[in-house]
Chain A
Amino acid sequence: GQSLEQPSEVTAVEGAIVQINCTYQTSGFYGLSWYQQHDGGAPTFLSYNGLDGLEETGRFSSFLSRSDSYGYLLLQELQMKDSASYFCVASGSGNTGKLIFGQGTTLQVKP
């Protein structure tokens, strides 16, 4: 089957660093993306890893290890506005636009 596992909730304080892990099992795996969704809002793209290694975009970094079927999203210098759900997303069935979403991790940032 196709599945992604990520923690359901994470809590951290402003200014801290948090890592959200994701393990996946998908057929035709092509790459791993991360999307952010605020309550009542639309999912928005954060990052994509097609190759093993670390991708950095400002305060956010994402990592992929294909051999371990594992990735993570690292958020640094947390801000209150980072409170949201974060979805680990696998590109399944090859490079065809089919995204398979994990259940999402709700991040709560506290003052």
Chain B
Amino acid sequence: AQKVTQAQTEISVVEKEDVTLDCVYETRDTTYYLFWYKQPPSGELVFLIRRNSFDEQNEISGRYSWNFQKSTSSFNFTITASQVVDSAVYFCARNSNSGYALNFGKGTSLLVTP
């Protein structure tokens, strides 16, 4: 399986700080998809973004932004002005090399304290 690496296991920030979650992926394909999901303490997996390999444009959605760099095989996620409700485990994922199932990274646990 083509691996997704999230080197940061846990991050702790104080409310209103900016925080960047790193994601590095392996690929031997020219076409692939990258994703971010949020898993709050309640346990559900919330879809945040999907990016295909042909679209390197960075994306911003409110306080969230994503930086896709094919040259370094990275797809980093930044939360601006973090809030306590941002506390969750964040998973980066890519589609598997056999199809469209997701290969997840190990996740980064983000704790935002007041």
Q: Do A and B bind each other?
A: no
The interface of chain A, by Cβ under 8 A from chain B, is: none
Q: B residues engaging A (CB < 8 A)?
A: none
